[in-house]
């Protein structure tokens, strides 16, 4: 049976150096690979379902457990169900756990690299208010790490800003339109032809 510690070790590894974690786990986190998606589906799909059915709510009592829930509902579905509507099916649940954790300051008990994934449900939101909060949180995070980690965390802030710009312009992420059966406007179609328009 998986638990918060096993979810977090799978995602972050065992290094205590945040910059090293960001470098070593980049391929797992950001590169689209069928092999990675398959491994996550095989090992964790049943846990995602348990989280969705509220069977793991007790995990939210600790900061680490809450983070594990966020990874189960915000990150893993994007791998397991890539290019299908189900990739986004658990986003509202992830935002709920994220916002509750922000209200009770659970995120401040986490390492900076862990906080990145605590905040991503807001960056993935199509709400402008959530986007503004995400950018503020990533800016605060970057400012908290000092010069040694600034370059790594500046990159995370840059992505948050870019997500916010898309929502400010379109009110949604155009690259999700085809997956979710939404009709794209002419402006969105033109935007999607631009390099880097899809996250």
The pLDDT score that the predictor gives to residue 196 is: 79
The pLDDT score that the predictor gives to residue 198 is: 76
CA distance 162 to 158: 6
Look over the chain and give the mean of its residue pLDDT values, rounded to a whole number.
Answer: 96
Largest CA distance in the chain: 48
Using the predicted structure, report yes or no on whether residue 1 has a pLDDT greater than 90. no
pTM: 0.95
The pLDDT score that the predictor gives to residue 93 is: 98
The pLDDT score that the predictor gives to residue 55 is: 98
Rounded to 5°, the CA angle 53-68-81 comes to 60
Using the predicted structure, report yes or no on whether residue 199 has a pLDDT greater than 90. no
CA distance 88 to 78: 7
pLDDT digits (tens, 9 = 90+) for 11-48: 999 999 999 999 999 999 999 999 999 999 999 999 99
The pLDDT score that the predictor gives to residue 119 is: 98
Q: Map out the domains of the chain as residue ranges.
A: 4-192
Q: What is the CATH number of domain 4-192?
A: 1.25.40.10
The pLDDT score that the predictor gives to residue 172 is: 98
pLDDT digits (tens, 9 = 90+) for 44-73: 999 999 999 999 999 999 999 999 999 999
The pLDDT score that the predictor gives to residue 182 is: 97
Using the predicted structure, report yes or no on whether residue 197 has a pLDDT greater than 90. no
């Amino acid at each position: 049976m998986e638990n918060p510690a096993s979810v977090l070790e799978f995602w972050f590894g065992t290094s205590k150096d945040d910059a090293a974690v960001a470098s070593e786990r980049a391929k797992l986190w950001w590169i689209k690979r069928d092999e990675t998606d398959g491994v996550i589906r095989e090992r964790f799909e049943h846990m995602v379902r348990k989280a969705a059915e509220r069977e793991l709510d007790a995990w939210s009592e600790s900061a680490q457990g809450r983070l594990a829930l966020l990874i189960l509902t915000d990150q893993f579905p994007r791998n397991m169900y890539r290019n299908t509507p189900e990739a986004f099916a658990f986003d509202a649940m992830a935002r709920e756990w994220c916002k509750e954790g922000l209200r009770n300051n659970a995120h401040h008990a986490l390492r900076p690299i862990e906080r990145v994934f605590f905040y991503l449900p807001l960056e993935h939101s199509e709400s402008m208010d959530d986007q503004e909060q995400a950018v503020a949180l990533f800016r605060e995070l970057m400012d908290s790490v000092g010069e040694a980690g600034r370059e790594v965390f500046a990159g995370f802030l840059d992505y948050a800003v870019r997500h916010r710009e898309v929502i400010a312009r379109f009110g949604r992420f155009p690259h999700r339109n085809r997956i979710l059966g939404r009709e794209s406007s002419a402006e969105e179609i033109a935007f999607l032809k631009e390099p880097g328009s899809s996250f």
